[in-house]
Amino acid sequence: MNSTDTALAIADPFGTVGMMYYFDKGTVARGQEIDLDVVSFYALGRGGVLGDIPAAEVDDIFFFFKTGAINGMYSGGRAKQTAEIGAKAHLNAAEEYAERTFGGIATDVLVAFNQAAEALFSTLPAGRWPIYDGYRAFGYTGQTLRDAYRNAILMRELRGGVHTDAVKDAGLTPAEACALDREGAYFALHGFQESDKPEVTDELRARRIAAEEDTTVRMAALLEVLTDAQRDALAAAATAMQAALASPVAAS
């Protein structure tokens, strides 16, 4: 599989798979164990990988949210727990979700995915995509299934960082980008209100489409370092993990 086809094949699957644990009942329960509601746990858990930085900086890095939305959620969590505790607990929740969900995927598919992901990640520059860097710094568990899910999260965050670059270069505001993403499915969830909705013109839609296409081009360029077999391994894992969402199998 060439790099462009791979970039297209893995975009939606990893985009979905890598976020499915956020509001899972197991994640809710894990958050409650450290006195965090699911919203604060999301913000502190995902934002906590950035390190112990001011909430305003976390808010800025979470580009696709309304300014101030993440600040409030993160600050609420940070008042109760450290960034490190939140991030580690959130990653544990992710791994537990993986154990409940992806047990039916063949081990060789997961092993090949982990090897291909590491081959890719080892070539990427540090300091360009903060959330990706943050998750990357936590390393791995040494357990194939759990590490495969960490890699799915990393693939999601990598594309998210690349997409943020493309959107900014296209001159789109967070509200514009979010309103045109999946017809605004996450607009309210990201803190925007009806009054924040932009006027959707043909020109605005064209710029949003161009940003999406640019994201694919940029991801394809990163994937060029891999062999065909390694790119196939990424696509195979993305397909298998996405299918498992509909028919989860717990690991034995």
In the structure, what pLDDT confidence band is assigned to residue 53 with cuts at 50, 70 and 90?
A: very high
Q: Tens of pLDDT along 27-41?
A: 999 999 999 999 999
pLDDT higher than threshold 90 for residue 119: yes
Q: Tens of pLDDT along 169-194?
A: 999 999 999 999 988 899 999 999 99
Q: Tens of pLDDT along 9-30?
A: 999 999 999 999 999 999 999 9
Q: Tens of pLDDT along 89-110?
A: 999 999 999 999 999 999 999 9
**Once rounded to an integer, what is the mean pLDDT over residues 77-89?**
98
Alpha-carbon separation of residue 3 from 181, 220, 228 (angstroms): 24, 5, 8
CA neighbor of 191 nearest in space, from 172, 175, 168, 215: 175
The whole-number pLDDT of residue 183 equals 86
Give the residue extent of every domain in the chain. Answer: 3-246
Q: Tens of pLDDT along 134-178?
A: 999 999 999 999 999 999 999 999 999 999 999 999 999 999 999
DSSP the chain: --HHHHHHHHHHHHHHHTTTTTT-HHHHHHHHHTT--HHHHHHHHHHGGG-S--HHHHHHHSTTSPTTHHHHHHHHHHTTS-HHHHHHHHHHHHHHHHHHHBTTS-HHHHHHHHHHHHHHHTTSPSSS-HHHHHHHHT---S-HHHHHHHHHHHHHHHHHHHHHHHHHHTT--HHHHHHTGGGGTTTTTTT--GGGPPP--HHHHHHHHHHHHHHHHHHHHHHTTS-HHHHHHHHHHHHHHHHHHHS-B---
CA dist., res. 134 & res. 157, Å (int): 10
For the chain, give the mean pLDDT: 97
Planar angle of CA 106, 111, 114, nearest 5 degrees: 130
The token pair that represents 23 in the structure block: 């509001």
